[in-house]
Structure 1
């Protein structure tokens, strides 16, 4: 945690309002005044505007956002001194590696606890790199050359960002109802995305999808 007595100033970027509210509440409850949420944003343009206006020390940034994703926010560099900590439901190798290459100082998943998130924000503010334990291995493997990120990205190009999220959860064994709850969408919408995923990938079943995702180290 930063040695400064001032709280770490944060902007929360995620396209789900309920999740942003939850993060704000967790940081307030666990932070004991060590973290101050200055603003929230739901898409790339809102994020860029909020960062330029508030100049936070750390941005909690979702990977998949309307308008180009978290990497696009970092590419625009709305404030050069801001550091970025990815906070995403996705723990897929290509998302982790692509986000770190895009400029993030760390990557944690949405299963993180409030106290862990407060600690991660403080460490990123201090200039450290922070990863959920399993994700650090992806980064090391990628820079060692043992993950072919370009090939993974090419395979996934057919899918929209939302279809990728649904695909990963279904491939991991989530029921449609569980996917709907996790992504704040209806079961009908999950079914529609799943049909589209199978069609685009030319797969015929959930079992084939799981094998496809496993072969590409997406689980």
Structure 2
């Protein structure tokens, strides 16, 4: 069995929290729950879980301009530096996705995901990868593309990659499987494999984990 990961589940619907707890794999241990911003902050700081499964829209909080989930991340990130945040929401709007990622979430998946999918995402985020439901990737790429372009103009290593290789690189670095990248970019899995091999060779890296670290250091995710 995979190493057990501790999580806190934050959602304002008790039925959803109960269902999610039941559906998660045995490799994921729920150590706390919360239903609003203030209780989430208290539980997260007390339990210091490996991962927080966080709904985007939560009641409470002090930031009227925030969706709730983003405020939880901003107010707890410094208190539990080892904890990573994974947004889990019914919303697939660009505003929600980009807002919570800017706040510091390492991934964003929709509530239509199965328990096994969520469990795999928890382990990926715990391991340092970033995870997104495939149809949400475009929002993130669009939102952070400008920053990536600015870096590209001054980063000789990034300049070695073609535009398509950069798209593949960002998705792979966020934890996407080859098939997910292929579906997102409308290319074949074989083409994705070819691009990944080229990216690793050009950047002189040996694995996708090194690629994630490389992209994270340059704020490309």
Distance in structure 2 (CA, Å) of the matches to 1:42 and 1:5:
29
Give the counterpart of 1:12 among 4, 9, 31.
9
Secondary structure in 2 aligned to 1:123? helix
What are the within-5 Å matches in structure 2 for residues 64-75 of structure 1?
Answer: 64-68=57-61, 69-75=68-74
Structure possessing the higher relative contact order (Cα contacts under 8 Å, 6 or more residues apart): 1
Distance in structure 1 (CA, Å) of the matches to 2:95 and 2:89:
13
- RMSD of aligned residue pairs (Cα, Å): 1.6
- In structure 2, the partner of 1:82 is 83
TM-superposed deviation, 1:144: 2.1
- In structure 2, the partner of 1:93 is 94
Deviates more, 1:70-79 or 1:40-49: 70-79
What are the within-5 Å matches in structure 2 for residues 148-187 of structure 1?
Answer: none
TM-superposed deviation, 1:117: 0.6
Superimposed CA distance per residue, residues 167-214 of structure 1 (whole angstroms, 9 cap, x where no aligned partner)? xxxxxxxxxxxxxxxxxxxxxxxxxxxxxxxxxxxxxxxxxxxxxxxx
Q: Does 1:63 align with 2:56?
A: yes
- In structure 1, the partner of 2:109 is 108
Secondary structure in 2 aligned to 1:90? coil
Length-normalised TM-score, structure 1: 0.61
TM-superposed deviation, 1:5: 5.4
| Pairs aligned (count) | 139
- In structure 2, the partner of 1:124 is 125
Length-normalised TM-score, structure 2: 0.61
- In structure 2, the partner of 1:49 is 42
Superimposed CA distance per residue, residues 137-182 of structure 1 (whole angstroms, 9 cap, x where no aligned partner)? 110011125xxxxxxxxxxxxxxxxxxxxxxxxxxxxxxxxxxxxx
- In structure 2, the partner of 1:177 is none
Distance in structure 2 (CA, Å) of the matches to 1:5 and 1:98:
32
Secondary structure in 2 aligned to 1:136? helix
- In structure 2, the partner of 1:23 is 20
TM-superposed deviation, 1:100: 0.3
Secondary structure in 2 aligned to 1:79? coil
Secondary structure in 2 aligned to 1:75? helix
Distance in structure 2 (CA, Å) of the matches to 1:67 and 1:129:
27
